[in-house]
Structure 1
C-alpha cells in the first residue's frame, strides 16, 4: 500500500533519505550529492526512489537555495550551482512520477523544530543550522518567515565587519561554518584539510590542546556576536542551534559562555538571548520536509 512519504534532505555533501510512516522514519540512508549536473542529481534520486517505488505516495524535499515552496520555482540552488531559475517541483515530479513538496533546508529545520522539536509552542524563535555555511529559519508570530525575496534566514550572508569586502571571509557563512572551523584547525595543526572532522576538533579540545581551544572559542564568539544582533533585531523567545556539529553539547555550552562574556562587557543589552541545542539535529530537516509536505497537501 502506497502510504509512505519518501523524504530527501539534499545537502552540499550528501543526500539523506528516509521513508516516513505513521510518525516514524525508517530505512534511513545517505549517498554523496552529485555536484556536476542536475541530470546526475535526478539519477541519484531515481535510484533511491526505485528501492521504494511500491511504497510511496509522495516525496518531501529539503534542499539549499531560494525556493518558492508554493510554486516550486527556485531562484538558485545554493551550493547546487547547476540549479538556477527553474521549477524544481515540476522537474522532480516528472522524474519521480509522484506529488512533490519542496522547501529550503534551513526553513525545513525551523519547521521541524516547531512541529516536534525545541520550538514547539514558541511563537517567535530562530534556528541556526551550523553546516557548510550558516543556514537557518525564523519563526515569527507562529509562522515561518520567508521574506519578500524568500531569503529570510540566509544567515550565511550576514557581514561580520566592513573590511576586506572583496573577500568572502567577512561573511558569517564563512566565519561560522563547521567547514571553516575544521579547515582552520587543520592548518594550525599542520594536517591536510580533508583529514580534519568535527569529531577530531572536539577530541583535540577534550585533550587540552590550547591552540584548538582558542580557535574554537573565537569561532563560538563569532556566532555569539551575531546571536546578540539577531536578538536585537527579531527579539525571539529562543534560539535553537542545529547542524551536524551541534551533536556535541560543547558547541552550545561554549556559545553560551562567549555570550556571557560579551554581555559582561556591555551594559547595553536589554534582553539576554536564550539558546539551546536542537532536539533532532540533522533530522530536523527531514521532519520539516514532512511537515511542509503535509501542509502543502492539507494532510493531518
Structure 2
C-alpha cells in the first residue's frame, strides 16, 4: 500500500534515508554521498527508491545549499558542488514519477525541532548544527525564517575576526567545525591528522587529559561568543545545539559553562542565552523534511 514517505537527508559525507508512516520511521539506512556528479547522486537515490517503490506516495529531501522549497529551485548545493542554478524538484520528479519536496538541511533541523523536538511551543528559537561546518535554522514568531535570499541560518559564513575578515580560518563554519576540533586535538597531542574522532576527543576529556580539555574549552568558548552575538541580533527564547558531537552532553554543558564565564566577565547587562541539547539527534533533518513535505502538500501533521 502506497501510504509512506521516503525521506532522504543528503549530507556531505552520507545520505541517510528512511521510510516514514504515521507510526514513525522504519527501514533506516545510509550510503556514502557521491561527490563526483549530479548523475551519480541521482543514480544513488534511484537505487534506494527502487527498494520501496511499491510502498511510497512521495519523497521528502533535506540537503545542503540555498533552496527555494516552494519552486524547487536551488541556487547552489553547498558542499554538493555539482548543483548550481537547478530546479532539483523537476529533475527528481521526472525520475521518481512521484511528488518530491526539498528544503535546506539546517532549516529542516529547525523544522524538526519545532515539530517534535526541543523547540515545540517556542515562538522564537535557533538551532545550531555542529558538523563539518556550522549550519542551522531560525524559528521566528512561530515560523521558519528563510530570509529574502533564502539564506537565513547560514551561520558558517559569520566572520569572527575584523583584522583578517576574509581568512576562512576565522569563519564560524571553520571555528565551529567538529573537524577543526579533532584536528586541533590531534595537533596538540602530536597524533596523525585524521586519527582523532569526536568520540576520541571525549575519551581524552573523560580521562582528565589537560591538553585536550584546554583545546575543547577554547572550541566551546568560540561557539559561546557567537551565541551571545546571535542572542543580541535575534533575541530567541532558546538555542538548540545539534549535530553529531552534540550527542555527548559534554558539548552543551561546556558551552554553557563558557557562556557563564563570558557573562560574569562582562560589565554589560546582556540577555542570558538559554541553550539545550537536541532531543532528536540525527532524526532532526529527517523529521524536518517530512514536516516540509506535509506542509507543502497540505497533509495533516
TM-score bucket (shorter structure): over 0.9
Distance 1:208 1:95 in 2: 53
> Alignment partner of 2:187: what SS?
helix
Superposition deviation, residue 168 in structure 1: 0.4
Superposition deviation, residue 23 in structure 1: 3.8
- 8 Å CA contact retained: 2:62, 2:108: yes
> Alignment partner of 1:240: what SS?
strand
Superposition deviation, residue 282 in structure 1: 1.6
List runs of 5+ in structure 2 lacking aligned partners: none
Query: After the TM superposition, which residues 43-122 of structure 1 pair with which residues of structure 2 at under 5 Å, given as runs?
Result: 43-122=43-122
Distance 2:268 2:34 in 1: 47
- Provide the aligned length of Structure 1 versus Structure 2: 300
Deviation string 1:50-98 (CA, Å, 9 cap, x unpaired) is 1111111000000000000000110110010111100011111122221
Distance 1:193 1:92 in 2: 38
- 8 Å CA contact retained: 2:217, 2:254: yes
Match of 2:289 in 1: 289
Superposition deviation, residue 153 in structure 1: 0.2
> Alignment partner of 2:194: what SS?
helix
- 8 Å CA contact retained: 1:163, 1:170: no
Match of 1:151 in 2: 151
C-alpha RMSD of the superposition: 0.9
Distance 1:269 1:6 in 2: 48
The yes-or-no answer on 1:8 pairing with 2:8 is yes
Distance 2:95 2:32 in 1: 19
Deviation string 1:150-197 (CA, Å, 9 cap, x unpaired) is 000000000111133342001000000111111111222222322221
Distance 1:267 1:116 in 2: 38
Distance 1:269 1:76, change over 3 A: farther
- 8 Å CA contact retained: 2:263, 2:270: no
Match of 1:235 in 2: 235
- 8 Å CA contact retained: 1:9, 1:286: yes
Match of 2:178 in 1: 178
> Alignment partner of 1:193: what SS?
coil
- 8 Å CA contact retained: 1:74, 1:88: yes
> Alignment partner of 1:62: what SS?
strand
- 8 Å CA contact retained: 1:225, 1:259: yes
List runs of 5+ in structure 1 lacking aligned partners: none
Mean Cα deviation higher: 266-275 or 110-119: 266-275
Distance 2:163 2:37 in 1: 35
- 8 Å CA contact retained: 2:130, 2:246: yes
Runs of 4+ aligned structure 1 residues displaced above 3 Å come to: none
Match of 1:220 in 2: 220
Distance 2:266 2:42 in 1: 52
Superposition deviation, residue 269 in structure 1: 3.3
The yes-or-no answer on 1:269 pairing with 2:273 is no
Distance 1:23 1:64 in 2: 27
Distance 2:11 2:23 in 1: 23
- 8 Å CA contact retained: 1:125, 1:238: yes
The yes-or-no answer on 1:33 pairing with 2:28 is no
Match of 2:201 in 1: 201
Distance 1:218 1:145 in 2: 30
